[in-house]
Amino acid sequence: MKKDASFLIDIVDTQNHTWQGRLYWVQEKKSVNFRSALELMQLLSSAVSPAEEEEEHSDKIVPLEHLG
C-alpha cells in the first residue's frame, strides 16, 4: 500500500547555484536541513522509499521535538 507523504520545503538561501533550507515531513512531524537541491531530492527519496531502505536513512530526518 502506498503511504501518503506531504512535505513543506523552506528555501532559506541560495549559494553556489543551489538551494539551502529545511525540509518538513508533515505526517511524521520531522524535519531536517539540506545543503543542496540534490541533497533535498535524496532526503525526499529516502523518506518515501520502501522499509528496507528507510532503515538505512532513518537518522537523516529527525523528530521536530529534538530540534532547538
Q: Three-class SS of residue 62?
A: strand
Query: What grid cell was written down for 26?
Result: 508533515
Is residue 30 within 8 A of residue 62, CB to CB? The reply is yes
At residue 1, the pLDDT reads: 44
Using CA atoms, how far apart are residues 5 and 24, in angstroms rounded to an integer?
A: 11
The model's pLDDT over 18-31, given as tens digits with 9 standing for 90+, comes to: 999 999 999 989 99
Sign of the alpha-carbon dihedral angle for 5, 7, 26, 44? positive
Q: Over the chain, what is the mean pLDDT?
A: 82
- Say how far apart CA 13 and CA 10 lie, in whole Å: 9
Q: What is the pTM of this model?
A: 0.68
What is the per-residue pLDDT across 42-68, written as a single tens digit (0 to 9) for each?
A: 999 988 886 554 455 556 666 656 555
- Residue corresponding to grid cell 553556489: 16
